[in-house]
Structures are given as C-alpha cells and as structure tokens.
C-alpha cells in the first residue's frame, strides 16, 4: 500500500542532496526552493500512481533536471529584448568556464574512464546497468570505478588541490565533458 509515510521514509535520506542539487540547477536559492517543492510534488504523485521507487536519489535528480529543462524551455520561448540577449549569453559563457574549471580539476586526479562513468551516474542519473552496457563492462566494474571516483572527489574536497599529483589533461575530452554537462547530452560521454 502506498502511503504518505512510505514516501517520506523513501525520500527523507535524499532531501539534503536534492535541495542542494535544485539550487545548483536554478543558480538561485529561491528558484531552487521552488524547484525542490515541485520535484517532491511530482515524485509523490508518481509514487502514488506507480509504486516503489528503486533508486530514489537518481530518480529525484532526474525529475529535478527534467522539470528545470521544461521551465527553461518555457523561458526560451518568451520574446526577449536585445539587451537581455547579451546578458544571457554572458551568463552562459560564465557557466561554461565554471564547469570547465570543475572538469579540469577532476581530470587532474582521475582517468577519463572514471570521469565518464561518474558523470553518467551522479550527474546524468544513469543506472549502473546502463553504464555497464555503454562501456561494455560488468556492473561490478562500474561499481568499483564509481566507488573510487567518489572517494577521490571526497578526498579533493578535504585536501587542497595544488598538493595532489596532477595528470595531463586532454583538452578534447575536457571540452566534450563540459559540452555534455552544458547541453545535457550524456551521449557525448565515452
């Protein structure tokens, strides 16, 4: 039986990460709060109609991303003045360089395979089975790579980046990763 308490039990461990992700997508606390509430409402409606959600955090991330994309598409359809067009373009370029900086940091400390699998799993919400099929490997290999990639990321958060050994960054891969994140196209990875 699907109950409100069952849904709350399912999503409660994910709420902090979901809220942070919504604020990240929206680039604003207020818009992030609105998106967060919309995600919970839509997810609850899905839970009541379809039942159990097997992997709640990736599911909630996917709902958030899709709702934000729908919101963004509605904004794009609105006519904008020439002044707004320039500021939107500058904002887009600013986002590009922020994401590029993050991807460079990851590439210094992880192999391309680690970054590819981590992006697909933790950013784009792919399941481990989908990633294994995409890279022609087993699910246990994907679990191992994701575990190690997440360990590296947690380590980087605790340590200063300039004290760690660096790897040579291949700029074509770096650009492809940034473009995949910016355009929400996971097919560019791998």
Is 62 in the same domain as 137?
A: no
Model confidence over 37-57: pLDDT tens digits?
999 999 888 888 887 788 888
Task: Say if residue 41 is in the same domain as residue 95.
Answer: no
Q: CA 118, CA 154: separation in Å to the nearest integer?
A: 13
Q: What is the pTM of this model?
A: 0.43
3-state secondary structure 123-171: HCCCCHHHHHHHHCCCHHHHHHHHHHHHHHHHHHHHCCHHHCCCCCCCH
Residue 126 Cα to chain centre, angstroms: 10
Query: 144: closest CA among 184, 111, 167, 107?
Result: 111
Same domain, 70 and 98: no
Q: Is the same domain home to 25 and 115? A: no
Closest C-alpha among 184, 173, 57 to residue 110: 173
In the chain, helix, strand, coil percent, each to 5?
80, 0, 20
182 pLDDT band (50/70/90 cuts)? Answer: confident
Same domain? For 116 and 172 the reply is yes
Q: Are 107 and 167 in contact (CB under 8 A)?
A: yes
Name the domain boundary from 77, 110, 142: 77
Tell me how far apart the alpha carbons of residues 114 and 107 are, in angstroms, rounded to a whole number: 9
Q: Which of 52, 77, 102 is the last residue of a domain?
A: 77
- pLDDT given for residue 148 in this prediction: 92
Residue 4 is predicted with a pLDDT of: 82
| Same-domain pairing of 93 and 178 | yes
CATH number where 156 lies: 1.10.10
Kindly state the percentage of the chain with pLDDT values over 90.
14
Question: Does residue 91 share a domain with residue 55?
Answer: no
Same domain, 134 and 53: no
Residues 153 and 99 in one domain: yes
Whether residues 41 and 88 share a domain: the answer is no
Whether the predicted pLDDT of 157 surpasses 80: no
Contact 186, 120 (CB under 8 A): yes
Domain span including residue 50: 4-77
Domain count, the chain: 2
Q: What is the pLDDT of residues 97-156, one digit of tens each?
A: 667 777 888 888 889 899 999 888 888 888 899 999 999 999 999 999 999 998 888 887
One domain for residues 72 and 113: no
User: Is residue 64 domain-shared with residue 11, that is, in the same domain?
Assistant: yes
Query: Has residue 79 got a pLDDT over 60?
Result: no
3-state secondary structure of 15: helix
DSSP one-letter code for 123: I
Q: Is the pLDDT of residue 81 over 60?
A: no
Q: Which one of 26, 47, 77 terminates a domain? A: 77
pLDDT at 169 over 50: no
């Amino acid at each position: 039986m699907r109950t409100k308490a069952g849904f709350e039990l399912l999503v409660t461990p994910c709420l902090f990460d979901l809220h942070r992700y919504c604020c990240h997508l929206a680039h604003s606390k207020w818009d992030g709060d609105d998106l967060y509430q919309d995600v919970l409402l839509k997810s609850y409606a899905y839970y009541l109609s379809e039942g159990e959600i097997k992997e709640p955090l990736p599911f909630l991330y996917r709902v958030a991303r899709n709702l934000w994309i729908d919101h963004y598409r509605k904004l794009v359809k609105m006519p904008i003045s020439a002044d707004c067009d320039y500021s939107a373009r500058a904002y887009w370029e600013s986002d590009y360089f922020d994401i590029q900086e993050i991807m460079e940091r990851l590439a210094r400390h992880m192999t391309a395979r680690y970054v590819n699998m981590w992006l697909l799993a933790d950013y784009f919400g792919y399941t481990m089975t989908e990633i294994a099929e995409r890279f022609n490997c087993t699910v246990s290999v994907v679990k191992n790579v994701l575990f190690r990639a997440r360990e590296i990321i947690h380590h980087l958060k605790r340590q200063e980046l300039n004290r760690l050994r660096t790897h040579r960054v291949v700029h074509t891969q770096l650009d492809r990763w940034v473009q995949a994140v910016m355009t929400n196209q996971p097919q560019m990875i791998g």
